[in-house]
Amino acid sequence: MSVTAGFAAAALRHPGSVAVVDDEGALTYRALAMAAGGLAAALGDAGRSGPLAGRTGLLVGHGAPFVTAILGTLAAGRCHVPLDPGYPRDRLAHMVDRADVDTIVTGRAQLDLARDLVGGRSVRIVVAEDVRPAPLVVRDTDPDAPAYLLFTSGSTGRPKAVAQTHRNLLHGARNQVASLGITAADRVSLLASFSFDAAIPDLFPALLAGATVVPVDLRRHGLGRLAPLLAEREVTVYHSTPTVYRFLLDSLAPADRLPRIRAVLLGGEEMTRSDVERGRPRFGPGCVFVNGYGATEFTFATHHHVTGPLSDSEQVPIGRPLPGYDVVLRDGEIVIRSPHLAPGYVGDPELTATRFFTDTDGTPAYRTGDLGQLLPDGTLVHRGRADRQVKIRGHLVELGEVEAHLAALPGVVRAVATTRVDPVAGTEILAYVQPGTPAPTPAALRRELALRLPEHLLPRAVVLLGALPLTQSGKVDVLALPAPVAVPRQRAAPLARESERTVAEVWTAALGVTVQSPADNFFDLGGNSLLLARVQRDLEARGMRLPMVTLLEHATVSALAAHLDGDADGVELTGVTDRMARRRAARRDRAAS
Q: What is the pLDDT of residues 422-469, one digit of tens each?
A: 766 678 888 999 888 888 888 889 888 888 888 888 888 888 888 888
Contacts of 466 (CB under 8 A, 6+ apart): 434
Give 54 or 492, the one with higher predicted confidence.
Answer: 54
**Angle, to 10 degrees, between the axis of helix 3-13 and the axis of helix 200-209?**
40
The answer, as to whether pTM is greater than 0.85, is: no
Structural contact between residues 40 and 136, judged by C-beta atoms closer than 8 angstroms: yes
**Angle, to 10 degrees, between the axis of helix 498-511 and the axis of helix 529-541?**
130
Query: What tens digit of pLDDT does each residue of 241-261 get?
Result: 988 999 899 889 889 999 999
pLDDT of residue 466: 84
pLDDT of residue 18: 98
Task: Say whether the peptide bond before residue 438 is cis (omega within 30 degrees of 0).
Answer: yes
Query: What tens digit of pLDDT does each residue of 317-361 get?
Result: 999 999 999 999 999 999 999 999 999 999 899 999 999 999 999
Segment (H or E) for 398: strand 395-398
Average pLDDT for 199-209: 96
